[in-house]
């Protein structure tokens, strides 16, 4: 059995999609559906069972799961970069992940964890996934800190050579529709163009960056789950890995790619950055993916921004069935 936590969420449901593409249906989805729209991410998917996240962690902490488990792909977490409840993030993102990892290791189960590019903070130390920078990283928000705590714990506990922890950068793609304000700018841009004919981006409040010139490493969700599928097939490859395209692009590039996919002329307008984001906003991110490449992953298969946006917009956002 494969267990995918956060399996109804954005990246988690894409993991289930990828497993289905590989012919795997013996999957347990762990999540917290509640009154959200995440259930729609599972309609097209095949899996054996669904378990609420709270019931699942109780099983884990009791030391007994009712399945023979081959791998745990732990994508479940609070992914809101603006979440301010630090106690909730400590319990949900750090303690939950730590205890699940310890269980997997005790049973010889392959464990893949979702970390984040938010661990790098403002980027002043670069974006290398080497262990030398771990102690010096200073995330800009509590979400990034909660992810960094797990990576630091795994290093101290001496288990990084037995698990894979993936620092995802700016992920976009189908099945993110339930995420509200945390949806990718591509998804928001498509909606804005449909309603208003234009895209609104944050103006820059730093002189070295023009408006819309802030740069991020945008990575297509299909590439993220391809990496995870490869890691499932290569259980000897372990450690912390950046998962990004390896190439920073501007928000203007992204906006132009959406307009191009729709066959429309660009109309980009800039709005002031909210005060709550000032000082906590990453102006530049670019994943160093040399370690992933050095372990044998074919990074040349990553989508370019233009190709990824074209696929997302034309095959999903513009269709009646938008889901993987």
The answer to whether residue 92 is domain-embedded is yes
Question: Does the pLDDT at position 279 exceed 80?
Answer: no
Question: Is the Cβ–Cβ distance between 221 and 171 less than 8 Å?
Answer: yes
The answer to whether residue 143 is catalytic is yes
Q: How much is the pLDDT for 80? A: 83
| 267 within a domain of the structure (yes/no) | no
From the candidates 143, 145, 220, 316, give the one annotated as an active-site residue: 143
Residue 205 falls inside a structural domain? no
Q: Does residue 127 lie within any of the structural domains?
A: yes
Q: State how far the Cα of 229 lies from the Cα of 159, in Å rounded to an integer.
A: 21
Residue 250 lies in a domain: no
Mean pLDDT of all residues belonging to the chain: 96
Residue 155 class from Cβ within 10 Å (0-12 exposed, 13-18 middle, 19+ buried)?
A: middle
Domains contained in the chain, number: 1
Does pLDDT of 280 surpass 80?
A: no
Please check whether residue 25 lies inside any domain of the structure. yes
Instruction: Return the CATH number at 223.
Output: 3.40.50.720
Which ranges constitute the DSSP H helices of the chain? 10-21, 53-62, 86-89, 96-107, 142-156, 185-196, 221-233, 251-262, 290-294, 305-312
Q: Which of 40, 70, 179, 280 is catalytic?
A: 179
Confidence class for position 84, pLDDT limits 50, 70, 90: confident
Q: Is residue 109 part of a domain?
A: yes
Per-residue pLDDT tens over the stretch 15-72? 999 999 999 999 999 999 998 999 999 999 999 999 999 999 999 999 999 999 999 9
Task: Check residue 241 and give its pLDDT.
Answer: 98
147 in active site: no
Find the domain containing 150 and state its range: 2-172+218-245+286-303
CA 107 to chain centre: 26
């Amino acid at each position: 059995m494969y267990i995918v936590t956060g399996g109804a969420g954005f990246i988690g449901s894409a993991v289930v999609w990828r497993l289905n593409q590989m012919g795997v249906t013996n999957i347990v989805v762990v999540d917290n559906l509640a009154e959200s729209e995440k259930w729609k991410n599972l309609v097209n998917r095949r899996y054996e069972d669904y378990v609420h996240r709270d019931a699942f962690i109780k099983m884990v902490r009791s030391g007994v799961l009712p399945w023979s488990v081959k791998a745990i792909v732990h994508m479940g977490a609070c992914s809101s970069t603006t979440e301010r409840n630090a106690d909730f993030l400590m319990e949900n993102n750090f303690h939950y992940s730590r205890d699940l990892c310890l269980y997997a290791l005790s049973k010889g189960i392959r464990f893949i964890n979702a970390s984040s590019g938010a661990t790098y903070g403002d980027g002043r130390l670069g974006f290398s996934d080497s262990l030398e920078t771990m102690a010096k990283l200073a995330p800009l928000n509590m979400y990034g800190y909660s992810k960094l705590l797990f990576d630091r714990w795994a290093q101290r506990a001496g288990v990084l050579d037995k698990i894979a922890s993936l620092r995802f950068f700016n992920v976009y793609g189908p099945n993110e529709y339930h995420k509200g304000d945390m949806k990718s700018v591509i998804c928001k841009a498509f909606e804005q163009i449909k309603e208003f004919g234009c895209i609104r981006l944050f103006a820059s409040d730093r002189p070295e960056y023009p408006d819309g010139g802030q740069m991020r490493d945008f990575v297509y969700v299909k590439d993220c789950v391809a990496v995870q599928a490869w890691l499932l097939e290569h259980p000897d490859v372990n450690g912390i890995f950046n998962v990004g395209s390896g190439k920073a692009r501007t928000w203007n590039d992204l906006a132009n790619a959406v307009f191009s996919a729709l066959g429309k002329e660009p109309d980009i307008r800039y709005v002031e950055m909210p005060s709550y984001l000032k000082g906590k906003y990453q102006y530049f991110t670019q994943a160093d993916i040399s370690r992933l490449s050095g372990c044998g992953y074919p990074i040349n298969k990553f989508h370019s921004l233009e190709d990824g946006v074209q696929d997302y917009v034309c095959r999903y956002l513009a269709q009646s069935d938008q889901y993987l």
